Structure 1
Amino acid sequence: MGLAIGSMKVGFAYLVDGELMDWKLSIDASQSEEAAFDQAVEWIGYYRLDVLVLEDPEHSRKGNNSLLLHRAVMRAAVAAEVRVILMAQHPDGAPNKYARAAYLANEFPQIRPWLPDPRRVFDQEPRNIVLFEALSLCWRWWKATGGSEEEELGEIAF
């Protein structure tokens, strides 16, 4: 499962053998560390995760609130004895997150209805983009490793 934290939203994408099985978005989980922790515990338990892929905060431009939520999710994963993989969000050659989302919508047509239009400079970020950020994290890990932690990560061809 990949989990992404955005401004006022937390999203996840759940893959089984490289196939997208489920995805969810939570506004409530972005309201506090406790809410993020509780939501992560719920998702981890429901899907019986063995791996959780998160954005590496060392290579992130996330704000302080997002970093606190990230730590809460990490605590939930550690408490559940789930292996956490930290990945840089954007090393895949996409010009922006909207191009990446469009690419993923083509790879996984079932999530296409949630594909947001690219935002204009003065618009708020669409809430659904966090779903594609989560999918990008777990899918890139899966594609690069085939589900094993032994291989190196590479770029996606856009």
Structure 2
Amino acid sequence: MPVIKESDIFEGETALKKWSQSARELAHTAHSMDDLLTIYPKLSRREMAMAVRYSLYMLQLRAPGPGVEVRVAPFAAVKVLEGPKSDPHNLTPPDVIELEPDVWLRLVCGITNWSQEKDAGHISAMGIRDDLSSLLPLPIG
């Protein structure tokens, strides 16, 4: 099942741009790293879901493969990067990364970076490919 319906791609792109613009405005008023690590523009639940799903879709296009599962609960999960596939008995790949929606979108939009969020304890990652810093931020048109 795709992470986003083809008919929802434009809505997702629009939602991500809206989140990014709001986050950048908030980032300009940030006085510390702690301020940046708490940026979370408020969108409707549907807009948040579409922004997350669209950004995960873009990640899949950038790094296709079955090796790492990226979970952004409660909205979506995708498998990316080459590597061992999931065990046929439990369907979970050997590498799993879990993030909250606000953390994921800050990374996607370049508000914060992987090491900042990881050091703050905002990323749960296990496996040898537990770092997506080379893929983020994503280009936002």
User: TM-score normalised by the shorter chain: which range applies?
Assistant: under 0.3
With structure 1 as the length reference, what TM-score do the two structures score?
Answer: 0.22
Say which structure is richer in strand: 1
TM-score (norm: length of structure 2): 0.24
